[in-house]
Copies of this chain bind each other. A is one copy, B any other.
Amino acid sequence: MNMSLTIALLGILDLTPMTGYDLKKSIAASVSHFWSADQSQIYRTLAVLVADGLAEVEVIPQEGRPDRHEHHITPAGRRALDEWLRSPLQPEKPHDAFLMRLFFVGTLGVPATRAVLRARRSQATVMLAGLQSVVEQEQARREPDDRSPDDLGRRLRHATLRNGILHAQAELAWLTETKEALE
Binding site for B on A (CB under 8 A): 3-4, 7-8, 11, 14, 31, 33-36, 81-82, 84-86, 88-89, 91-110, 112-113, 115-116, 119, 123, 127, 151-153, 155-160, 162-163, 166-167, 169-171, 173-174, 177-178, 181-182
Contact = CB atoms under 8 A, between A and B. Distances in A.
A101 B82 contact: no
A82 B95 contact: no
Contacts of A169: 170
| Copies of this subunit | 2
A155 B181 contact: yes
A35 B91 contact: no
A162 B182 contact: no
A28 to B, nearest CB: 11
A169 B104 CA distance: 25
Contact of A103 (B100, B103, B160, B170): B160
A67 to B, nearest CB: 28
